[in-house]
Amino acid sequence: MTPNRSALEHDGANHAAAVRLADRLFAALLAAPGTYVSGSALAARFGVSRTAIWKAANRLMEAGFPVERAHRRGYRLAEGYDPPVGPNGWEGLEGAELGRAFRFFPEVDSTQNAARRWFDDGAPHGAVVLAERQTAGRGRMGRQWVSPPGTGLWMSVILTDGLRLADVHALSLMAGLAVAEALEAFGYRPGLKWPNDVLLAGKKVAGVLIEGQGELDRLYFAVVGIGLNVRLPEAFPPELRTIATALAEHGPPPPRRKLAAAILSALDRELRAYRAEGFGPLRERWLVRAVSLGREIAVETGGGRIVGRFAGLDDDGKLLVETAAGLRAIASGEVRL
């Protein structure tokens, strides 16, 4: 091994250890809501120095986490901290397949990646990965998903049972529908834009990203990524402000763990309905929320731009557009309203 290489590895290992300690510190504070935990108790618990705890706390604060430090008392998460999941998971998911197992990271590259890593490591069907912040959150086709801490619900659901590759389109629509139905339960009036945007007053409040691996008649796994803006980040890029919104712009948002539970519970119901009866009944529920149904739209596809009347969805969830040349079923593309 060359000295250079081992120096790099050493740096890498130190960095990883610091990140992990910050993760564990966050988890410990999360498990003790409202109360200060002393630096020495934390140091003893993790077998590190109080200085290491101090540095880990700094790391969390610099990354935007609401960690408070008080002289002689220790550390805690700020009183108003709104966790996306409780220490024991979610209420209201009794009997659901989704959400029984979960992992919540203060910071991760992408919950999609963390979900994939967990799948490789034996994650059960329905396992959920959440993060307070994503450093490389992504949208479709390599686009970026802005995911600062404290502002949204960044969540990935791992599905391993009972799906085929052909179900992926429907899955994407079901996830958007689940978000819309969950928001309606809290009094919002969302609209759906094919294939996977959830809008409030014409601006994007949530997006869905489906990734997976499989063969024609079998899906080994799918990861349903859901990003929902709860509060509008101050650091939101100006160009996003014109197209994106957050729940808080439309009334005081519910606690994030309630939003997560409502989304998971709706998705759970939809997956069951889909297995039993296919996409048919879900299509109607999707279409009544669709923005621009019956109106002229343009769709950018790999094969060029298609313009026509938005006529509905086919049995697999493809977009139906009535063009001058006849009815077209579109599997993937970008809709311009």
Q: Is 317 helix (H, G, I), strand (E, B) or coil?
A: coil
Q: Do the beta carbons of residue 158 and residue 115 sit within 8 Å?
A: yes
Of the pair 229, 265, the CB lying nearest ligand BT5 is at 229
Q: Is 232 helix (H, G, I), strand (E, B) or coil?
A: coil
Determine if 74 is a binding residue for ligand BT5 (CB under 6 A).
Answer: no
Determine if 56 is a binding residue for ligand BT5 (CB under 6 A).
Answer: no
The residue among 129, 152, 139 whose CA lies nearest residue 235 is 152
d(CA 179, CA 336): 21
Instruction: Name the minimum Å distance from CB 31 to ligand BT5.
Output: 24
Instruction: Name the minimum Å distance from CB 25 to ligand BT5.
Output: 23
Of the pair 53, 199, the CB lying nearest ligand BT5 is at 199
The residue among 302, 292, 307, 334 whose CA lies nearest residue 140 is 334
Of the pair 37, 223, the CB lying nearest ligand BT5 is at 223
Other Cβ atoms closer than 10 A to 314: 16
Determine if 111 is a binding residue for ligand BT5 (CB under 6 A).
Answer: yes
Residue from 42, 65, 134, 163 that binds ligand BT5 (CB under 6 A)? Answer: 134
Determine if 140 is a binding residue for ligand BT5 (CB under 6 A).
Answer: yes
User: Which pairs from 26-31 meet CB under 8 Å and 24+ separation?
Assistant: 26/60, 26/65, 26/67, 26/77, 26/106, 26/132, 27/104, 29/67, 29/75, 29/76, 29/77, 30/77, 30/83, 30/87, 30/104, 31/87
Determine if 291 is a binding residue for ligand BT5 (CB under 6 A).
Answer: no
Residue from 22, 99, 110, 132 that binds ligand BT5 (CB under 6 A)? Answer: 110
Residue from 66, 139, 191, 214 that binds ligand BT5 (CB under 6 A)? Answer: 139
Q: Do the beta carbons of residue 39 and residue 74 sit within 8 Å?
A: yes
- The residue at minimum Cβ distance from ligand BT5 is 207
Determine if 172 is a binding residue for ligand BT5 (CB under 6 A).
Answer: no
Residue from 156, 174, 266, 306 that binds ligand BT5 (CB under 6 A)? Answer: 156
Q: How many residues bind to ligand BT5 according to rule CB under 6 A?
A: 27
From residue 180 to residue 209, what is the string marking binding to ligand BT5 with x (rule CB under 6 A)? ----------------x-------x--xxx
Residue from 77, 244, 262, 321 that binds ligand BT5 (CB under 6 A)? Answer: 244
What are the CA-CA distances from residue 275 to residues 98, 124, 196, 272 (Å)?
Answer: 15, 19, 20, 5
Q: And the tokens for 10? A: 């050493």
Residues found near ligand BT5 in the complex (CB under 6 A): 110-112, 134, 137-140, 143-147, 154-156, 196, 204, 207-209, 225-227, 229, 240, 244
